[in-house]
A = this chain, B = another copy of it.
């Protein structure tokens, strides 16, 4: 196990009916900006629950934060936040709304252009307080301090993190997820799954708790994920999925172990290039990446196959079958795992590499847990994703 530091101050308020606790979680008279997305919270009852619980606060609203939140949209929220002297931002939605809101809380307190933070020309030194009401289990953003932001004009999709961006609290009411479009549920399961594998399917570091916790999360997603798709209003299944997704990316399973994240970095480029959903890109990239790096990941793939999928046989056989099982799992959820399934048949992937290169220092020349996946390797992996 490597040395590590771990601290996560976010308060989780979990369970049905807990949105009403906003009454006590935010002080009376606070100027609150409620941020949300396209308005689905207005049809599923979440918006009215939130507004009722915020009757003791002075509320302004900012809607329209899109999937893969953009710099352009969030800058408008920052402008509003500054003008209104907002003291607290309450993000109501999924990872996109929460990620965008993290940029917003840093931006409101910054005199320059907050894109400086993304380009590491400035360091976040102050932020408005943030709370969240999570409605889509997937990204873990409700209990971590990172975010991913896209910039339309440049086609960039980049991420940073800072301890000041941890939410003060996050309310997780599984009932708010009943009305999610099925595609978002599927993508969310894949997202949580692959957040876990990024921190687990690397090389052994003798970290028993981290390994077993990762296997716990994956096993729960494998067991309950497909069930949810056939039992959309089953509270217990929804609760387990929601808590799994939070635990997959709140930092805990990643302490003291090597981390990969190549699937995410490649996936981000596929979203930028072809407009695929984040979860879809991950489901496409992961199986091919695991095959491509099978020899380096052999021990962990074999452990994964035996413990999660109850496979037996030689390490090589178990590794192969575990990758096949993984692909089959995504497909069984209804998330296709080849580019061609989405009608994408590029001649080559030079444009992907070119965009990666254009990110400069924010996109290392070599990625993966061993820092040895080159641009050429990425092209090879993408070829396998066709």
Which one of A5, A13, A17, A256 has the highest number of Cβ atoms from chain B below 10 Å of its Cβ? A5
Contact at B12–A10, with CB atoms within 8 Å? no
Question: Closest residue of chain B to A4, judged by CB?
Answer: B14
Docked complex Cα distance between A252 and B14 (Å): 13
1/0 per residue, CB under 8 A from B, across A206-243: the answer is 11110011011101100110000000000010011001
Using CB atoms, name the residue of chain B closest to A243: B209
A367 to chain B, nearest CB (A): 25
Flag if A212 contacts B216 (CB, 8 Å).
yes
Name the contact of A3 in the complex, choosing from B4, B6, B7, B18 (C-beta under 8 A).
B18
A101 interface residue (CB < 8 Å to B): no
A240–B13 CB distance below 8 A: no
A13 to B6, CA, bound (A): 7
Say yes or no for A247: interface residue by CB 8 A criterion.
yes
A334 part of interface (Cβ distance < 8 Å):
no
Q: Is A8's CB within 8 Å of the partner chain B? A: yes
Contacts of A139 in B (CB 8 A): none
Instruction: Flag if B208 contacts A220 (CB, 8 Å).
Output: yes
B-contact 0/1 string along A1-30, CB 8 Å cutoff: 111111111111111111000000000000
| A51 interfacial contact with B, CB 8 Å | no
User: Which one of B4, B17, B213 contacts A216 once the chains associate, using CB atoms below 8 Å?
Assistant: B213
Interface residues of A in 41-85 (CB under 8 A from B): none
**Residues of B contacting A247 with CB < 8 Å?**
209
CB closest residue in chain B, given A21: B5
Least CB distance from A23 to B in Å reads 14
A187: interface (CB < 8 Å):
no
Residues of B within 8 A of A10 (CB): 7
Measured between beta carbons, the chain B residues less than 8 angstroms from A223 are 208
Q: Using Cβ atoms and an 8 Å threshold, which residues of chain B touch A212?
A: 212-213, 215-217, 219-220
Pairwise interchain contact B15-A4, C-beta atoms closer than 8 A: yes
A384 interface residue per 8 A CB criterion = no
* Number of identical protomers: 2
- The reply to whether B1 and A239 contact each other, CB–CB distance below 8 Å, is yes
A206 to B15, CA, bound (A): 13
Q: What CA separation (Å) do A188 and B213 show in the bound complex?
A: 21
Which one, B1, B2, B3, B236, contacts A1 given CB within 8 A?
B236
What distance in Å separates the Cβ of A347 from its nearest Cβ neighbour in chain B? Answer: 44
A135 within 8 A of B: no
- State in angstroms the CA–CA spacing of A17 and B2 once bound together: 12
Chain B nearest CB: distance from A7 CB in Å? Answer: 4
Asked, given contacts A220-B209, A244-B208, whether A9 binds B12 with beta carbons under 8 Å apart, the answer is: no
Q: Does A255 contact B (CB under 8 A)?
A: yes
Which residues does chain B contribute within 8 Å of A244, judged by CB atoms?
208-209
Instruction: Return chain B residues, CB-CB under 8 Å to A16.
Output: 3
Give A243 to B255 CA distance when docked, in angstroms: 11
Say whether B5 contacts A13, CB under 8 Å.
yes
Bound Cα distance A223, B211 (Å) = 14
Q: Decide if A7 touches B15 in the complex (CB within 8 Å).
A: no
> In the complex the two chains form, is B11's CB within 8 Å of A7's CB?
yes
Query: Apart from A3-B16, A7-B9, what 14 extra A-B contacts exist at CB < 8 Å?
Result: A1-B239, A1-B240, A3-B18, A4-B12, A4-B14, A15-B256, A206-B236, A208-B216, A208-B223, A209-B220, A212-B212, A212-B216, A212-B220, A213-B216
Give A residues with C-beta under 8 Å from B.
1-18, 206-209, 212-213, 215-217, 219-220, 223-224, 236, 239-240, 243-244, 247, 252, 255-256
For the complex of A and B, list the 4 residue pairs with the smallest distance between their C-beta atoms, beginning with the closest: A3-B15, A212-B216, A7-B11, A206-B236
